[in-house]
Amino acid sequence: MFTQWQDFVPGGWMSAINVRDFVQRNYHPYDGDDSFLTSPSEKTRKLWAKCQELLRQERSRDGVLEVDADTPITINSHPPGYIDRDLEIIVGLQTNSPLKRAINIYGGLRTSVRACRAYGVEPPSGLIDFFKKHRRTHNDGVFTVYTPEMRRARRVGIITGLPDSYGRGRIIADYRRVPLYGIDYLIQAKENDRDSLNKTMNVSSIQLRERISDQIQALQSLKEMAAAYGFDISKPAANAREAIQWLYFAYLGAIKEQNGAAMSLGRVSSFLDIYIERDLQKGIIDEEVAQELIDQLVIKLRLVRHLRTPEYSELFAGDPNWVTESIGGCGSCF
């Protein structure tokens, strides 16, 4: 079963993945005021004070605190990183220290090299040569399929108005699946998808099988990353802290490998509130702990960083990252 809370189970073993059904059957509307809210905990205040000092140092260094130009970032490219291990209850950073930016060469080699050099860091020549000779990056793949007209339209900004390498769309995933189902269930579902494909080997089916295999490998890597922090996300989250941590691990894996300007967190407030309300009713947590969990999640989201060229900061006035959440909306549309 997905979780020890039987009334939370969206269906039997290997039923269709359906996060919406879980939310619809378990959330409780709230029409009261905000009198139940508490102030940040002492632990959170101390942690945020450390972050504020790091942010001050970052601003004093032209907006980039530190660059790791030696290690192309992947889900498991860097060892676990912490702000202050004794103060953190929600853990996980993109690299092994807060605000350190890694190169995302898989997105684009030239852009990564230019970004490094703009901040006085030189990537290893061997790394650059390897990617030039042996690895096609995302931008390389995109530009090989552009027609001459498309290239001209991109270059002059007709299509997006953004510089090349920053014309990608908003990336919105459903990270809630990891805490609700656990990684092992999601892997099994992907394997079932692959096994149910038409056995005919043509261009479409071969590409689809390859992509599903890549997705399975990414889920395995996500489980390994969480294990490095001391967490087993193979099974569903059993409480509010695990639900928030599992969800953040899923989002962390995404922002390690994708450097989109707008990496949405999705519609998570109602989902997480189900776990928090459950723990409050069972006496597992109180309002201060609930506030602490959300505060520390938000702190992690505020530390999201990607290595950009200066043109990005000039275009958007300050190197922003849009970590958006969908709060409004409806559960049923007719």
Could you tell me if 61 and 117 lie in one domain? yes
Residue 286 lies in a domain: yes
Residue 281 lies in a domain: yes
Position 6 scores a pLDDT of: 43
Could you tell me if 259 and 178 lie in one domain? yes
Phi-psi region of 63 (alpha: psi -120 to 50; beta: other; left: phi over 0): left
Residue 96 lies in a domain: yes
Indicate the number of domains in the chain: 2
Residue 255 lies in a domain: yes
Residue 6 lies in a domain: no
Residue 21 lies in a domain: no
Could you tell me if 245 and 290 lie in one domain? yes
Q: Catalogue the E-assigned strands of 136-275.
A: 171-172, 263-264
Claim: this prediction has a pTM higher than 0.85: yes
Could you tell me how far CA 20 lies from the centroid of its own chain? Answer: 20
Could you tell me if 168 and 294 lie in one domain? yes
Position 96 scores a pLDDT of: 97
Could you tell me if 65 and 201 lie in one domain? no
Could you tell me if 156 and 55 lie in one domain? yes
Whole domain around residue 224: which residue ranges?
183-234
Could you tell me if 58 and 202 lie in one domain? no
Q: Tell me the C-alpha distance between 91 and 66, whole Å.
A: 20
Residue 146 lies in a domain: yes
Identify residue 234 by its one-letter amino acid code: S
| Local confidence pLDDT in tens for the 334 residues of the chain | 334 444 544 444 445 789 999 999 999 888 899 999 999 999 999 999 999 999 999 999 989 999 999 999 999 999 999 999 999 999 999 999 999 999 988 878 888 899 999 999 999 999 988 888 888 877 778 788 889 998 888 778 777 655 555 555 567 889 999 999 999 999 999 999 999 888 889 998 899 999 999 999 999 999 999 999 999 999 999 999 999 999 999 999 999 988 888 889 999 999 999 999 999 999 999 999 999 999 999 999 999 999 988 888 887 777 888 888 887 667 766 5
Could you tell me if 115 and 178 lie in one domain? yes
Could you tell me if 309 and 210 lie in one domain? no
Residue 12 lies in a domain: no
Could you tell me if 74 and 148 lie in one domain? yes
Could you tell me if 281 and 223 lie in one domain? no
